[in-house]
Copies of this chain bind each other. A is one copy, B any other.
């Protein structure tokens, strides 16, 4: 990754400035969309006075957007990872409940940071689309690993497909997070995740 290599070459102070810009850009783009976020807004929020610094670290808005996608993917997966040992029905239910609680805590606003970027950028920016799709794949793989160990422990039928169930679960979650943001409640999110967990339960053994 170009941006990661560049980060390594920076001084500690340079890295701190770069990180401040990415964090500010990620927050603004999540709140207002990528198109709704100006360079001036980012500079102001990051407390960076010279526009040349933005160009020094990122070249153009497109590579800043790449850094934002990287940042948001890491953050979402960092939040998800401790919950993602989805190797039992109980673990799946705890995962569902933690996501619902977290959405309620933020007033059902914001949706999924990856999903919001995906909705805005997928058609317009092929590189961003590929990066977001790769983020989803990482997430899907983590879900699948849990279901696979459930299967290895004999708690999921042998003919169940952990890969398909994981993809369905992540896709259902994405729909649920969009509906949460639109309806301003977690009813659709809870309903779709419960339906998917019930679907997995059909394959559960014992």
Q: Among residues 71 to 118 in chain A, which have CB atoms less than 8 Å away from a CB atom of chain B?
A: 109-111, 115-116, 118
Measured between C-beta atoms, what is the minimum distance from A43 to chain B in Å? Answer: 19
Give the Cβ gap from A115 to chain B, nearest Cβ, in Å: 6
Copies in the complex: 2
- Residues of chain A in range 169-204 having any CB-CB distance to chain B below 8 Å: 170-176, 178-179, 181-184, 187-189, 191-192, 194-196, 198-199, 202
Contacts A35-B33, A119-B116; A171 near B199 (Cβ below 8 A): no
- The answer for the CA separation of A136 and B132 in the assembled complex, in Å, is 26
A167 CB–B CB distance under 8 Å: yes
How many residues from A make CB contacts under 8 Å with B? 48
Q: Does residue A6 face the partner (Cβ distance < 8 Å to B)?
A: no
Instruction: For the complex formed, measure the closest distance between the CB of A66 and the CB atoms of chain B, giving whole angstroms.
Output: 15
A109: min CB distance to chain B, Å: 5
Q: How far is the CB of A181 from chain B (nearest CB, A)?
A: 4
Is A120 on the interface with B (CB-CB < 8 A)?
Answer: yes
A159 CB-CB contact with B under 8 Å: no
